[in-house]
Amino acid sequence: MEGNERNAEEQMPAHRRTGLGSVMIGAIVAAALVGAAWAVLRVDPSGRRGSGLSDRFDLDVERYTTVDPKLVAYEETGAFATGMAEVRAIVAGPDDRVYVAGDQAVRVFDLGGKPLEAIAVDGTPQCIAVGGPEHQFPGRIYVGLGDRVEVFDAGAEPVETWREGLGGKSVLTSIAVAEDDVFVADAGNRIVLRYDTRGKLIGRIGEPDPDRGIRGFFIPSPCFDVAVTPDGLLRVVNPAARRIEAYTFDGDLLGSWGKASAEIDGFFGCCNPAHFAVLEDGRFVTSEKGIPRIKVYSNRGQFECVVADPQTLAQGKVVVDETRAEHQLKALDVATTRQGWILALDPTHRTVRIFKPKG
């Protein structure tokens, strides 16, 4: 195992030796951060009532919705419509094919937005993954629907349905594929399930285990993303902790990175990052809700640059109170291509937005 996984920059939890007390302290600190931010950032997403705060607070809001142009290293070069009424997940698969899950289907496009095929599914797809060239079944499609995973071959023909380890409480939010393994994030049960490529359950990752220094996942809302990185590790968002954790496939916690902050290098709100993807060189692309922004971090979790700021993604709107439907801004799921492009799935306009490195 590479030594940098245990480096302080990965923020190995120093509170492993504590139990319930550290959880309570963390909750109090998180509540204080959200309470303070609410006084600064409360706005009306519709824009009809304005912020309801003084000009001084409006200036503070601008501080978080306007990013120094020097930090923005990407530009939006195009977009294409999905033709769907509602979109939920995106992934870039082999041969530069883009897979979008929404409505009751998975639609496949080329990078120019040309429709290639559509796969009907029985239910509402919430997440999707596609096996790459290293996978035992390249091009195989895995779709998470409620309490099951539907599997299709590279030709979009149904193969099988996985239900082992899942049930009525399951809320599937993300799927990640390795060479011989498939990882399924279940936000309802706050666990990541490890399957072999035939659908046999072979492990459960993230269950609280004080002896192994694992406190478990804290998931206030269904934002619970996973990915396999080029270093052979499983990366999992612990959303309420505002960090990304690194695990072996056997479930050993190696470290984490990320911090709770409204500043550009941190993650704000109840549960962020909402989504993330990984570039081929191991860098992370994160997408946040509350303060909508997409950013790039190094493979060790150091902030590098901004892909898109709140002005670009949501006309500068920010949301702290997400308990009311009219006070919600849906997060943009993200995917990466082998060319280094970043694809953002816009749930408001039902489009795929394309961002490329400047220059």
Whole-prediction pTM: 0.83
Which pLDDT value is given to residue 79?
98
CATH of the domain at 303: 2.120.10.30
- Give the residue numbers spanning the domain of 41: 3-357
pLDDT-wise least confident of 55-69, 123-137, 293-307: 55-69
β-strands 284-288, 333-336: how paired? unpaired
Tokens, residue 98: 């883009």
* List of residues 6+ apart from 204 with CB closer than 8 A: 165, 191, 192, 193, 194, 251
Phi-psi map region of 299: left, alpha, beta (phi>0 left; psi -120 to 50 alpha): alpha
pLDDT digit string (tens) for 52-83?
334 443 446 677 788 999 999 999 999 999 99
Which pLDDT value is given to residue 319?
62
Tokens, residue 103: 């409505």
Q: In the chain, how many domains are there?
A: 1
- Report the chain's mean pLDDT, rounded to a whole number: 84
